[in-house]
Structure formats: structure tokens, C-alpha cells
Structure 1
């Protein structure tokens, strides 16, 4: 599609001269050719996207997504995963190495990069820290970075060996690599089904205490300080983690963190019905933790929000709670969850579009005349039904499937391509 005109949308781009203004944006052959205060556009030969009542910003970037490439394509392949991402407003996603084989060498990184080439949604592999994600031996981090990996993590397996984590931080620092920590002490968390607290006691289920997370956050903060290296924590979920990271930032430690959108709107009280779609890792915590996470977002301790999109086949979820796999699909529900959590449009853009790119050292795309168009158009008021017809993922493991949600992505533009949600 050569020409696209977004009309009468409020521009959200902190620092931009037209930030907060209602504008028309004309995109010609993939580039922004005009940004002007909203006026009549009858003289323009272009596909018109009505932005009245909506916000337009740089496309969202998800720092924590799971596809199934390579080896687990029955969960999610690149085509379906990027379709779900585009429908959720994301023009870029970082894909974790929770695959079979894991993304732990140049070969898997190259496979994912080449498979996703030409897509509207940019797909960035995150390479494993350790070979086979077994936590014993460092993978070839530098080779993976040269092939296209943007950061390193063992995915949903927390690195238990402090010495290996320390070496990973020190080694990656030499080539400006970023280590991502999924904080969980297995010796404390072992055998859990949900958050440890009053609700787990009431339901008679094994609980994972906040301590399992905060212990690992504390350890990796010490290691990052010792090695003078940056570290990023993904999917933090506890009040204690927020406080530890806040203190570390005040000391000048190079630390950033993100939170999964579902941990901002649900608590462990949801588990009372034993719906396995509420079984996630880290688990849903208490209202006290949710309040601390929201405060951490507002004050800037928490830098970004992620989907933690984790698709599973029905046989892994439509089972008893205690044997169900952990995780939910989330690419299409991040915006509605953040609207429900009470974030402003500017906060949403900061946590979903700007900060994620800055964390991995990418330049934030500009919204200026002459720049390549990388845009999302979204409404904070529009409602839509998330069901089998609107769900773009292969999987259906979401606790809000079948519900009416508030907060809708109208369109995304990237690489000269347009996807609209009618």
C-alpha cells in the first residue's frame, strides 16, 4: 500500500513539538511525508485510517514474547505470533529461547531472523545464556549477538549458579551485551502451584513465596554491582523486588526491569476457581504486590511492561490446575490490561514503545517528516470482544478469552505495511 493517511489522531511522543496535538500523518511509500494539525484531507490520494478519538505513537515493542521456533511450532509459529503482535499494537518483539532446541547458538538465531525477514513486525531473538539452557556452561554469546541476538536469557529457567551468572555479566559487558535475569530461587520456589499466602493455604496448594524472587533479585544486583555490568530483570512480581531495584537504582547500579501486564490487574484470588489460565510464572500475587508494582511503574522504578506471551496447546491447559503448564497468551491484551490498570496514554507509550527500545540500546524511531513510518494507532475507549474470531494466536490459553475488553489497537504501520483491526 503506497499511501496511508492517519487523520485526527492525538500524537503521543514526549519531546516532540506536536506532542499532545491532534494531527494528520501522511505516509507515502513507507515514509512519513507530512505531519500537520488536523485539516481537511480530501485532496490526498491515500488509504484513510480514521484516528478520531485515538492516539498515535511509535509502535510498541514487547521485550518478552515466546514463539515456538524452532521445534515447538505447534504452540506458535512466526506467522501467527507476529499476527497476534500486530493486532496488539507491536511492531517489534523480543523472542525468548524457550524452544526445542533452545536459541543457544548462531544457527537458531539465524533461523529465526531469516524466517521473520520481511514481516511488518520485527522479530529479535534473545539467545540463551547457557548451552541447552541447563545452567552449566556459557553459550556462545558473542556469536549469537553477531547473528542478531539482542540480549541473553535462559528464558523461564532461572540461572541458579551465581558463578555462571557473574561470568555472563562480565563477558557480555565486553561487547555491550545485555543479560536478562528471570529471578527465581528454585530451592525456595520448588513444587509451587501459585503464590504462597492466605489463598494458597485456603486452597491447600503449594505456594511460591515472594522470597523466591527477591532472593534472586538481590543476588543478581550484587553481581551486577561487582562486575559493573548492566542487568535487566524480567517479569518481576513482588513488592520486595520493586524496593530492591529502587534502592539499587539510587546507588547507581545499572539495572532495569519489566513487569508482565497480567500481574498488574489480577491477584491470587483469581485462582479460587482453579482456572488453569490463571496459572502463570511468576504467579499472580496479592493486592499489596499489585499496588507496589503500579507504584513502581508510576515512579519509574519499573521501566517497561511486557506481554510474557506464552502459548500452549489445549492439552497442556485444559487439565487439572496442579498439572497444567504455566503461562498465558498476552500479545493482544497488553493494552486493555494497562487501560484497566489506570495507566495514561503517555505512560503506555513510555512503557511499551520508548523504554523497551532504550533498554536494549536501540534508537527509538522518530515521528518526523522523512523518517520511516513505525506507528501504532490505539484507542483507550473502544471496546471489543476477544474471542476465537479476533484471536490471532494459535493458542487460546487466556483467562479473558470470550470477554469484552476496553482499549483497542486500530492499526499498525511498519516497513510500508499496514494492519488494521476493523
Structure 2
């Protein structure tokens, strides 16, 4: 279906039209015209988007979808519906399903289930069998089947020797390991950040040291093997400093941060709201500032949703026994705007860099290019509620809140969807 989007400002650092206010026409899945003023044609859908931003479609590096086996949390249909509504035209889905995505067949299952969708779905294979950190999963077969990277989700790999072997094996495959930084022996069973606040809460705290020690180990191992490594979901100022130095030293290291870690702080836990229970835990305002600075200076490569859907019985319980995580695909954009990121930086960290990290084609807003974009109003307010929540789950502290930054349109794979 042909489409004309009027009155948008392009936000794409790779485009010759970047920062220009234009109209844009799509025919047959291709961008065929970008001009100051375009008149509507017959049989063309016209979207008036005055004041809106048009960016390459967002891509999420860290998304949990329950298919296969945990579809009561989220299935591919509901997960991609939430992704679309959040401006995502591509997602990389974690292997934390039941059974774990650790074989060629499991990768092929996801790819077949996700065919003909507006949202591109890319499986991430497990690093270890059953996410236990003991035996390597079928990395070679999974990569050949279409796995874009390997991860054990939010389970850190404790065994140093196993991590060393995994890096060495992945290097031979030109595969990317995405690892979660937590030293479990330091973190223990604590569930909140270690600070004055955790003492007031009467709960044990996870020190920043737990994250930074694990990160240091992974830096040493990646240096030893001269192997690329991606650190998922950093949360501390110390981690930003360690990665900044590693990059300066020439290490092939990349990292991402969850959008909520840029805005939420540990003080939000004072009412023991389990919807704020995440892993890594919410940290301090100083950590927020360091993470935002790390995005702006290039230390942090990408922002991820860390979408973690759960049934009500896993979250509407006492804080200590509640599961970790929030649903996040529809709220990443408002949080990034709240954190003060401009349109070009959002495009870089949420659309361009995530695809670069996985060696996927990066959409460009240009004449003749394949159409893959999101249109959003950075100033438009909307209420996130049970009626417009596309996820099966409802574990978000932002439900019922008024947010600023509204997705109006997504286009990909010759399909588009609009949102009022």
C-alpha cells in the first residue's frame, strides 16, 4: 500500500536529509520521494505528522518473548504488537524460553513463527545448555540456522574457564557473546542496590562491585583471546568507566543499558512496589547521570528495553518473592526523552547501533531505500493504560501514568500501522 507522510523532520545521522523538515512517499515498500512539499496521489494513504520525527525503525537488543513454552507471559503475536506500538521494527529475542533456545531446530521454530510480520524477529541462541554455564550449546548450528548472537539472558556465567572457552569458540564462528555482568558470589541473594537506601528498607544490597568485578573478568578474558564481547544491561558509573577505558585500550567491547536505568532510581522502591524490581537493581541518581553521559560520549553503544513480561501471580506478591523485570517495549521512547536524549542520539542508540552490533542491515532514510521507519511526536502526551497496552502482561510501574513521546506510525516489510 502506498503511503505519504507529511510534515516530518528526519532524524537519521546516516541520511543526507537529516534534520530536514519534509514530506516522504513510499511506494511498493521503497522510499520514492523526499521533498519539502508533496501532493497526495490517488490510492495513497496520507498521514499528517506535523511536528513529528521520522527515524529508522527502532531495534531492541534485549527482549524476552515466552514462545516457546512460556506463552502465558508473552507470545510472538503479543510481543510484536507491543514492539510495533513502541516504534520497534526489529527485536532480538532472548533464549530464556521453555525449552531454552539452544538448538538449530529451536532457532528455526522462532524464525518460522515470526514470518510475514511487520516486526523483524531475530533469535538469540543460548551460550550454555539450559543456561547453566557448564556445557556449550550448539553455537555453530544455531548460527547457521539464523541466530544473530548468543546469550544466557540475565544469568551470569560464573565459571571463568567456561567463559574463556565460550569466547574462544565464538571467535572462530565470528559470533557475538552477549553476557550479563554479575558476580553471584558477591551479589548473593540480595535484590536491591547496596546503599543507605537498602539499610532503610531493611534489605540486603547488591553492591556495584558485583557488576564491576564480573565486567573486569570479562574484559581480561576478551583481551586475552582478542575476542569481541558485548556486555548487556550495565547499571553503574563504575561499569561506564571500565568500558570507556577498555575501548580506549582497543578492546572489541560493546555494551547496552536498559532505558529504565537512565531515569528510575532506588528511591522508587521505598513503597516496596514489585513493579520496580529489576535486575540489575535500580541504582542512584549519580549512576543515572553517568549512564546518560556514557551514551552521549559513545561509551555505551545502545539502549535496550529489557522487556520482561510476567503473569500477575509472579509480580502481585511480596517484594522478596516477586520475579524480576518490567514490560518495557512501549515505554522506551518516553523514558529516553525524559532522560534528555535528542532525536539523533535516539536514532543512533535505538535503531542504528543495535543492528550494527548484530551485523544486520541498517535502514537509511533516503530515496530508493527500503522503507523501515518510525514516526513519533516527541512532545505529545498519552496515557499508558490497560486499553493501549499491547503486551499480555501488565507488570509496568508506568501503567496508568501520562507519558510524553508518542509513536504515530511504523513501517516495515511493506506493512504499516498507525496509532491515534
TM-score w.r.t. the length of structure 1 is 0.98
**Are the structure 2 counterparts of residues 371 and 15 from structure 1 closer, same or farther at C-alpha, using a change threshold of 3 Å?**
closer
1:17 Cα deviation from its structure 2 partner? 1.9
> Is 1:397–2:395 an aligned residue pair?
yes
Look up the SS of the partner of 2:329 in the other structure.
coil
Structure 2: any 5+ residue segments left out of the alignment?
A: none
- Classify the secondary structure of the residue corresponding to 1:380: strand
**Separation of aligned partners in 1, 2:386 and 2:360:** 35
Instruction: Look up the match of 2:181.
Output: 183
What is the root-mean-square deviation of aligned Cα atoms in Å? Answer: 0.9
1:232-243 to structure 2, matched below 5 A, reads: 232-243=230-241
Structure 1 match to 2:23: 24
> Distance in 1 between the 2:127 and 2:194 partners?
29
C-alpha distance in 1, partners of 2:96/2:27? 39
Deviations 1:231-279 (A, max 9, x none): 0011100011000000000000000000000010011000001000000
Give unpaired runs (5+ residues) of structure 1.
none
What is the SS of the residue equivalent to 1:91?
A: strand
* Counterpart secondary structure, 2:173: coil
Residue 115 (structure 2) aligns with: 117
1:372 and 2:370 aligned: yes
Q: Is 1:267 the counterpart of 2:236 in the alignment? A: no
Using the alignment, how far apart are the partners of 2:4 and 2:413 within structure 1? 15
1:141 to 134, 139, 142: 139
Task: Answer yes or no: is the 8 Å Cα contact 2:14–2:364 preserved in 1.
Answer: no
Question: What does residue range 91-240 of structure 1 map to in structure 2 within 5 Å?
Answer: 91-240=89-238
Show the counterpart of 1:348.
Answer: 346
Partner SS for 2:328: coil
Is contact 2:16-2:366 (8 Å) kept?
no
C-alpha distance in structure 1 between counterparts of 2:369 and 2:15, whole Å: 14
In 1, the alpha carbon distance for the partners of 2:142 and 2:406 equals: 36
SS at match of 1:54: strand
Look up the match of 1:72: 70
How far is 1:44 from its partner?
Answer: 5.1
Question: Over residues 190-234 of structure 1, what are the superposed CA-to-partner deviations in whole Å (9 max), with x where a residue is unaligned?
Answer: 111211111100110111110110011100011111000100011
* Cα distance between partner residues in 1 of 2:305 and 2:40: 39
CA distance in 2, matches of 1:171, 1:237: 28
Number of aligned residues:
420
Q: What SS is found at the alignment partner of 1:165?
A: helix
Partner of 2:295: 297
Does 218-227 or 15-24 show the bigger shift? 15-24
- Separation in 1 of the partners of 2:389 and 2:379? 20
**Offset, 1:108:** 1.1
1:384-419 Cα shifts (integer Å, max 9, x gaps) = 100001100000000010010001111100011111
Q: Secondary structure at the match of 2:12?
A: coil
Matched-pair contact (CA < 8 Å) for 2:17–2:366: no
1:308-353 deviations in Å (ceiling 9; x for gaps): 0000000000000010000000000000000111111111111100
Structure 2 residue aligned with 1:325: 323
- The answer to whether the 8 Å contact 2:17/2:365 transfers is no
Aligned-pair distance for 1:369? 2.1
SS of the equivalent of 2:124 reads: strand
Measured after TM superposition, the shift of residue 163 of structure 1 is 1.1
